[in-house]
Amino acid sequence: MKKNESYEEFIKGIWRDNPVFVQVLGMCPMLAVTNSAVNAIAMGLATFFVLVGSSFLVSSFRNWIPKQVRISCFIIIIATFVTVADYTLLALVPTVHKELGAFIPLIVANCMILGRQEAFASRYPTRLAVMDAMGMASGFMLALFSLGAIREILGDGALFGMNLFGTNFEPWIIMILPPGGFLTLGVILLFFNWFKLKKDEFLAEVAEAERSSR
């Protein structure tokens, strides 16, 4: 039972409540840094670190933080993790840090992270909060990666910098420019909503069939 519960908290962030495709949160980094798969993964990892770390601390201290100052406390915790991520990336992978630029410090303003603290981590035990954060962050990373991979393949004819199509491929430069981000995200959201519609229809049909067979 307990095991299932934490599994459920993890898996919901990846699919059912995916922060990007279902909740449509965190759009700013989503559109800005997904022009290549490597950037998307680096951004995803940084966000993962910040979200899991903050959720752990917020959940551990949830009984000590007075509600009047909770948002300020969450922001202090998030900002500290963001600064740690910022300097670590700058020291270890300066080239990636250069590409991501201002968007690393801007993780502070990612509403998905503050949203998880307020909606989940500040109300649930630490174990569940960490599972929830890991699920949400993985869902976010998955979303970033799918956008980044699609845009890099179409816009640059490559994935992780490796050329896929040879010299005959004419890259769709628009895909690595900002409009490409909107186009790709729009198509993916279209797919997600269509899938949800079909699933609901299917479930309704099953329920109907069960009722009539009774």
Partner 1 sequence: MTSARHTGTASPSSLRLVLTLAIAGLISGVAIIGIYESTLPTITANKARELREAVFKVLPAVSQMQALVHRDGELVAAEAVAKDEPVVYGGYDENGGFVGYAIPGAGPGFQDTIGLLYGYTPDQKLVVGMEVLESRETPGLGDKIYKDADFVAGFSALSIEPEITAVKSGTKSQPNEIDAITGATISSKAVVRIINETHADWTQRLPPPGAEPRLTETEPAGPEVER
Positions in the binding site for partner 1 (CB under 8 A):
35, 62-69, 72-73, 76-77, 79-80, 83-84, 87-88, 90-92, 94, 98, 101, 123, 155-156, 171, 173, 176-177
- Judged by beta carbon, residue 72 or residue 193, the one nearer partner 1 is 72
**Residue 71 CB, nearest approach to partner 1 (Å):** 11
**Residue 177 CB, nearest approach to partner 1 (Å):** 7
**Residue 203 CB, nearest approach to partner 1 (Å):** 29
- Judged by beta carbon, residue 18 or residue 35, the one nearer partner 1 is 35
Q: What whole-number distance in Å separates Cα of residue 19 and Cα of residue 33?
A: 17
Q: 205: buried, middle or exposed (CB in 10 Å: 19+, 13-18, 0-12)?
A: exposed
**Residue 95 CB, nearest approach to partner 1 (Å):** 10
- Judged by beta carbon, residue 11 or residue 79, the one nearer partner 1 is 79
* 3 state DSSP class of 34: coil
Q: What whole-number distance in Å separates Cα of residue 120 and Cα of residue 116?
A: 5
For residue 70, what are its two tokens?
């909770």
**Residue 192 CB, nearest approach to partner 1 (Å):** 27
- Judged by beta carbon, residue 135 or residue 151, the one nearer partner 1 is 151
**Residue 68 CB, nearest approach to partner 1 (Å):** 6
5 HSE (CA, 13 A, CB side): 8
Residues with Cβ within 8 Å of 193's Cβ and at least 6 positions away in sequence, in order, are none
Count other Cβ atoms within 10 Å, centred on residue 164: 12
- Judged by beta carbon, residue 88 or residue 126, the one nearer partner 1 is 88
Say how far residue 96 (Cα) sits from the centre of its chain: 18
Nearest C-alpha neighbor of 74 from the set 115, 132, 125: 115
C-alpha angle 36/171/98, rounded to 5°?
30
- Judged by beta carbon, residue 139 or residue 157, the one nearer partner 1 is 157
